[in-house]
C-alpha cells in the first residue's frame, strides 16, 4: 500500500512564510518516518495558482498572472530544496495537465447530476477566497481573519449540490479517525449540523482560472480546482519531462486515497466537508484523515506584513540551520495546538536539548572511548544484554516514538527520544568512568559503560532521523554508522525497525575523531 500525504497547495500571492514552512516540515518528518518503516511514500506539495487574489496580486505587480505564478512558485520550489524537504511531487495548478484532470472530474460530477445553475449573492473575502455567512459590521462588513472590507457579489454561478451529501458527510465526520486532532471535530460537526448548502463552483468575469467546459464565460472557483491538485499530483508523469495521460480511473494504482491531508485549521471545512462530498460525487475514494494543525504567532502576536514581524523561512534557515528550526517547531508545539515562536525559548531549547543533552552525550563518550580503547568501540561485556538499564530505557523510548510519529505527535516523539539521551547522560554521571578509570581493575566495567552510552547514542540518532535528519546523520557519522536514507529515493539497507534493536553497535569498530554534532545557537539580535 502507498502512504500518500499532502501539504496544502500554497497560494502564490506572496512569498513563503513560516506558516507554510511549518506544515511542510511536519509533513517531511512524517514522510521520512513512513519511508524508514519501509512504506512506499508519496509526499505531495505544490502551489495553488488561480483565483481573484492571485490575479489581483499579479496586476499590482505589473505581471501577467502566469509570469507572477512562475516567479512565486519557483521560490517555493527552491525553498523546499534548501530545507531538504523530501517531497515526491510538486504540483502547480496552472499546469496544463491539471486542467485536463479538472475537466475529467467535473464531467463525472456533472454526469452525476450534482451541478446546477444558481444565483450567488453574498459577501466575499478575496484574501480567504470564501463567502462569509455572518460578516461583522453592518455598514462595512469585514473579514474577521483579514480585518478588511468584504466585497458584495451577485452573479449567476454553477453550484455543486453539497446538500445531497448531508448524511454521508455526517457519517464520515463521526468516524473518530477522520478529523484530527479530536478537538477540531466538534467545530466541523456544528457546521454540518446547520445543514449543508450547495456551494458555487464557478465564477464569471474571472479570466484567471480553468474554463468550465460547456459553460462559456465561467471559470472554476479556485477551491474546486485547487483540491483536485492532489489528484493531478498523483497522475502526472513521474520523471523529468515525462508526460502522462493517466486519468482518474488510474488513481487507485497511483497512491489514492491519501492517508492524510495535513493542513492549517483555517482550511479544515474545505478538506473535511467540501472535498469528501466532491469525491463521493465523482465516485472516488475518500482520504483516510484530515489533520488540522494550529497557527503560529510570534512573541504572542499574529504575524503580518503590516506589523512587520513576519519570520522569513529562508533567512531563518540561513541563520539557524534546518535542525534547530525543525526541532523547536516540532518539539515545543503540540501538533494541532496553536504555538508561539519565541526567540529566547527557541535558542534555549536547541542549546539545552541538542547541543548539551544529545551532543555532549555522544561527544564526551566517544572521546573517552577513543582515548582508553584505541579509538574503537569498547568491549561490551554485559552491556549488550537486553536487561541493561539503558537497553530498557531505549526500549521504552522506541515504544513511545513509533506510536507518537504514527499519530503525528511530533512532540511526543521528540520528548521520548530526548529522554533516552537524558537517561544515558544520567547513567554516565553515576558510573563516572573518568573516576573508575583512575583505579586498577576497572577497565572492563568502564568499557561496558561506555559501550552502553554509545549504543544509546546510536539509537537516539536513529529515533531522531525523521525529526532532525541532518543531526541524525552527523551523529551516525560519529559512530561510523551509515546515515539513514529517508529521502524520496530511499534504498534498502538494514530496515530501520531492525536497526532499532539494542546491542548492534559493533565492538572494535573505529570511532572517528570527535567533532561537535550540534553547534550552539548564538543569535546576535532579533531574527
Binding site for ligand MSP (CB under 6 A): 8-11, 19-20, 22-23, 48, 226-227, 229, 263-264, 266-267, 295-296, 303
Q: Are 375 and 511 in contact (CB under 8 A)?
A: yes
Of 426, 436, 496, nearest in space to 461 by CA:
496
Among residues 487, 467, 483, which one has the least CA distance to residue 475? Answer: 483
Q: How far is the CB of 475 from ligand MSP (least distance, A)?
A: 30
* Residue number of the CB atom closest to ligand MSP: 264
* Distance set, CA 523 to CA 14, 326, 475, 518 (Å): 27, 17, 24, 15
CB atoms under 10 Å from CB of 386, counted, come to 11
Of the pair 102, 227, the CB lying nearest ligand MSP is at 227
In the block, which residue shows the cell 527552491?
A: 78
* Assigned C-alpha cell, 474: 552527523
- Which CB, 104 or 266, lies closer to ligand MSP? 266
Cis status, amide bond into 200, omega within 30 of 0: no
Write down the number of H helices and E strands in the chain.
Answer: 19, 17
CB of 48 to ligand MSP, least distance (A): 3
Q: Which of residues 11 and 427 has its CB atom nearest to ligand MSP in the complex?
A: 11
| CA distance linking residue 70 with residue 227, whole number of Å | 20
DSSP string covering 433-454: HHHHTTSTT-HHHHHHHHHHHH
Q: Name the residue nearer to ligand MSP (CB basis): 330 or 397.
A: 330
CB of 347 to ligand MSP, least distance (A): 21
Q: Could you tell me the smallest distance in angstroms from the CB atom of residue 107 to ligand MSP? A: 20
Q: Which helix (H) or strand (E) holds 124?
A: strand 115-125
Find the shortest distance in angstroms from Cβ 463 to ligand MSP: 26
Measured from the CB atom, is 19 or 378 closer to ligand MSP? Answer: 19
Shortest Å, Cβ 523 to ligand MSP? 21
Scored b (16 or more CB within 10 A) or e, 57-66 reads bbeeeeeebe
> Closer CB to ligand MSP, residue 262 or residue 446?
262
8 A C-beta contact, residue 48 and residue 9: yes
- C-alpha distances out from residue 111 to 104, 221, 281, Å: 11, 19, 9
* 23 vs 366 by CB, closer to ligand MSP: 23
Which one, 302 or 371, has the nearer CB to ligand MSP?
302
Shortest distance, position 180 Cβ to ligand MSP, whole Å:
14
**Shortest CB 9 distance to ligand MSP, Å:** 4
Amino acid at each position: 500500500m502507498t502512504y500518500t500525504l499532502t501539504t496544502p497547495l500554497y497560494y502564490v500571492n506572496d512569498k513563503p512564510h513560516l506558516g507554510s514552512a511549518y506544515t511542510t516540515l511536519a509533513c517531511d518528518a512524517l514522510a521520512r518516518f513512513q519511508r524508514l518503516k519501509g512504506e512506499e511514500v508519496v509526499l505531495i506539495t505544490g502551489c495553488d495558482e488561480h483565483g481573484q487574489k492571485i490575479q489581483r496580486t499579479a496586476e499590482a505587480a505589473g505581471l501577467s498572472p502566469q509570469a507572477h505564478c512562475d516567479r512565486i512558485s519557483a521560490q517555493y520550489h527552491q525553498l523546499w530544496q534548501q530545507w531538504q524537504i523530501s517531497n515526491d511531487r510538486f504540483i502547480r495548478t496552472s499546469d496544463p495537465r491539471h486542467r485536463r484532470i479538472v475537466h475529467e472530474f467535473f464531467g463525472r460530477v456533472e454526469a452525476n447530476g450534482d451541478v446546477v445553475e444558481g444565483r450567488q449573492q453574498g459577501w466575499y473575502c478575496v484574501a480567504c477566497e470564501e463567502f462569509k455567512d455572518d460578516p461583522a459590521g453592518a455598514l462595512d462588513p469585514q473579514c474577521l481573519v483579514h480585518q478588511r472590507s468584504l466585497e458584495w457579489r451577485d452573479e449567476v454561478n454553477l453550484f455543486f449540490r453539497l446538500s445531497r451529501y448531508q448524511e454521508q458527510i455526517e457519517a464520515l465526520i463521526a468516524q473518530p479517525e477522520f478529523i484530527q486532532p479530536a478537538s477540531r471535530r466538534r467545530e466541523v460537526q456544528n457546521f454540518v449540523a446547520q445543514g449543508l448548502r450547495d456551494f458555487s463552483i464557478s465564477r464569471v468575469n474571472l479570466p484567471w482560472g480553468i474554463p468550465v467546459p460547456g459553460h462559456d464565460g465561467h471559470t472554476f472557483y479556485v477551491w474546486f480546482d485547487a483540491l483536485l491538485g492532489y489528484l493531478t499530483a498523483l497522475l502526472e508523469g513521474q520523471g523529468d519531462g515525462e508526460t502522462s495521460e493517466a486519468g482518474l480511473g488510474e488513481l487507485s494504482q497511483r497512491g489514492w486515497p491519501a492517508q492524510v491531508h495535513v493542513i492549517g485549521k483555517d482550511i479544515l471545512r474545505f478538506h473535511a466537508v467540501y472535498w469528501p462530498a466532491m469525491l463521493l460525487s465523482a465516485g472516488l475514494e475518500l482520504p483516510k484523515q484530515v489533520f488540522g494543525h494550529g497557527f503560529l504567532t510570534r512573541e504572542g502576536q499574529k504575524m503580518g506584513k503590516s506589523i512587520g514581524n513576519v519570520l522569513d523561512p529562508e533567512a531563518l534557515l540561513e541563520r539557524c540551520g534546518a535542525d534547530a528550526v525543525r526541532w523547536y517547531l516540532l518539539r515545543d508545539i503540540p501538533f494541532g495546538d496553536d504555538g508561539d515562536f519565541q526567540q529566547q525559548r527557541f535558542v534555549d531549547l536547541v542549546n539545552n536539548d541538542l547541543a548539551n543533552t544529545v551532543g555532549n552525550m555522544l561527544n564526551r563518550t566517544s572521546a573517552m572511548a577513543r582515548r582508553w580503547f584505541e579509538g574503537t568501540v569498547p568491549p561490551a561485556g554485559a552491556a549488550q544484554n537486553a536487561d541493561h538499564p539503558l537497553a530498557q530505557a531505549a526500549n521504552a523510548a522506541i515504544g513511545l516514538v513509533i506510536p507518537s510519529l504514527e499519530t503525528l505527535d511530533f512532540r511526543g516523539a521528540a520528548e521520548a527520544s530526548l529522554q533516552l539521551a537524558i537517561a544515558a547522560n544520567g547513567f554516565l554521571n553515576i558510573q563516572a568512568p573518568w573516576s573508575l578509570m583512575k583505579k586498577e581493575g576497572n577497565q572492563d566495567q568502564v568499557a561496558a559503560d561506555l559501550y552502553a552510552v554509545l549504543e544509546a547514542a546510536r539509537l537516539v540518532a536513529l529515533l531522531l532521523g525523521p525529526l532532525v535528519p541532518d543531526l541524525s546523520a552527523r551523529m551516525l557519522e560519529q559512530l561510523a554508522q551509515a546515515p539513514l536514507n529517508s529521502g524520496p529515493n530511499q534504498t534498502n539497507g538494514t530496515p530501520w525497525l531492525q536497526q532499532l534493536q539494542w546491542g548492534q553497535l559493533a565492538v572494535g569498530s573505529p570511532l572517528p575523531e570527535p567533532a561537535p554534532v550540534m553547534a550552539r545557537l548564538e543569535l546576535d539580535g532579533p531574527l
